[in-house]
Structure 1
Amino acid sequence: MMRAPGQVVCEGFTLLELLVALAIFGLLAAMSYSGLQAVLQQQSYTEQAADRLGALQKLYLIMQRDIEQIVARTVRDEFGDAQPPVVGGDALQFTRGGWRNPAGRQRSTLQRVGYAYDDEQLIRYTWSVLDRAQDSEAVQQPLIEEIERMQLRYLDRNDEWQEQWPASDADSDPDPEDPLLAIPKAIEVTIEHNRFGPIVWLFQLPQ
């Protein structure tokens, strides 16, 4: 068939060309989706890591505020037995000052506070009174999760680390006649985070 001079001939894609074009388009779409998924996943990991670091920082500040305000004030437990200002082993309990009172209630500025590890959580305990009755209950405040363990050590007046307080060693045991000696010089807190591993904090106590 003869073409007239100047006549434009429109030729479409062949089936093979269409299939190749569709295959390339599909490959590019898959690569774009995969790249987007990787970016979103990395963003999620970054946000989770930031949240975990934020929780650790908050925990440190709370513990620092509590421990660095420990005072030499003995208390009585729910059975009426006297307890030292600081009692510690795997868990920790102590009397602290500086309990804020924005409502102006008639109460002491001293507070009994405790820390303990339970079921991958670090929990803070507080009591509304220093000398407890049998119906006194602690308020529990979970502070952080993903914790595998907590270990505590106590620096005595001889600059030796003790695993519990009051120390069982007679040479390190504080003199009960002097309440100031019933307080360690420092407390070392080691927590094992299942993402970040062991984290060690050292808090110096007022002397």
Structure 2
Amino acid sequence: MSNRRTQTGFTLIEVVIAMAITAVIMTFSFQAFTTAERSATASAEVMARINELDRTWQILGQDLRNILSPVNASDDPNVPGGIRRPFRGASVYDNTSGEQLVLQFTRDNWLNPMNRPRSDLQQVVYRIKDGTLWRDYRPERNLVIEDWLFAEDMIQQQMLTGISEMELKFLSGQRAEREAQGVLEGDDYARDWDESWPTNNQGQFDTSTPLAVLVSIELDDGLVSERLYDMAH
């Protein structure tokens, strides 16, 4: 009898089955990798959005904490006509109607680490254009508001994009005195606050600053965030 050689290796069916299993594993692995990549990208976008919003709140809060009260010409004989440092504010419910003013004021304590020859007072304007919040600023130049050339010599700083609405509510000193502790009670405490500033009180425009400002921002993705700023100083 002749010796038969033992044959080793895989059959064609075994090879096909192994290839099929490998293909399935690779498919699931690719899908898992794609899902993880999309999740990581989405998380990064959300975090960038949150950081952008948080940065806006921080800068706005710093501005409002250092705001200067308006000055009347009668109080300062060196100031020609009207109010030298006006505080103005209004809500923006429709960001499709061009450029709209949100806030306008003068602040102090503007840091000068480079010791540049400039004022430590800063004229500031917040405005919304095409759904983007901008902060324009420059050194105080002792000019009345009619002489501010925002488009020509203000430094423009982009703050927040994708804004659908930006609502402001202002608490006046008269309302605070009238309602006392009740002025901040309830979930809808700012419902009757003034929606613009200055207020028109019996035909006389208020030249003071509000005691508090409630700012609410709604983004295009439906996110709503708000902050209450105490301005009583």
TM-score by length of 1: 0.82
- Residue 21 in structure 1 maps to residue 18 in structure 2: yes
Structure 2 alignment gaps of length 5 or more? 74-80, 92-101, 177-191
CA contact (8 A) 1:122 1:145 kept: yes
- One-letter amino acid of the structure 2 residue matched with residue 29 of structure 1: M
CA contact (8 A) 1:70 1:206 kept: no
Provide the residue aligned with 1:57 in structure 2. 54
Question: Quick one: structure 1 residues 106 and 73, their matched pair in 2 at CA, closer, same or farther if it must change by over 3 Å?
Answer: farther
Find the structure with the greater CA-based Rg.
Answer: 1
How many pairs were matched up? 196
CA contact (8 A) 2:106 2:140 kept: no
Looking at structure 1, the residues matched to 148 and 170 of structure 2 have their Cα atoms a distance apart, in angstroms, of 29
Bigger mean CA deviation after superposition, 32-41 or 192-201:
192-201
Q: SS state of the match for residue 101, structure 1? A: coil
Provide the residue aligned with 1:137 in structure 2. 153
The alignment yields a C-alpha RMSD, in angstroms, of 2.7
Partner of residue 199 from structure 2, selected from 167, 186, 190: 167
Looking at structure 1, the residues matched to 204 and 22 of structure 2 have their Cα atoms a distance apart, in angstroms, of 77
- One-letter amino acid of the structure 1 residue matched with residue 168 of structure 2: L
Looking at structure 1, the residues matched to 21 and 52 of structure 2 have their Cα atoms a distance apart, in angstroms, of 47
CA deviation vs aligned residue, 1:1-49 (integer Å, no higher than 9, x gap): x663xx6512433322222211111011111111111111111111111
Structure 1 alignment gaps of length 5 or more? 177-181
Identity %: 27
CA contact (8 A) 2:70 2:209 kept: no
Runs (4+) of structure 1 exceeding 6 A deviation are none
Partner of residue 71 from structure 1, selected from 60, 68, 71: 68
Q: SS state of the match for residue 21, structure 2? A: helix
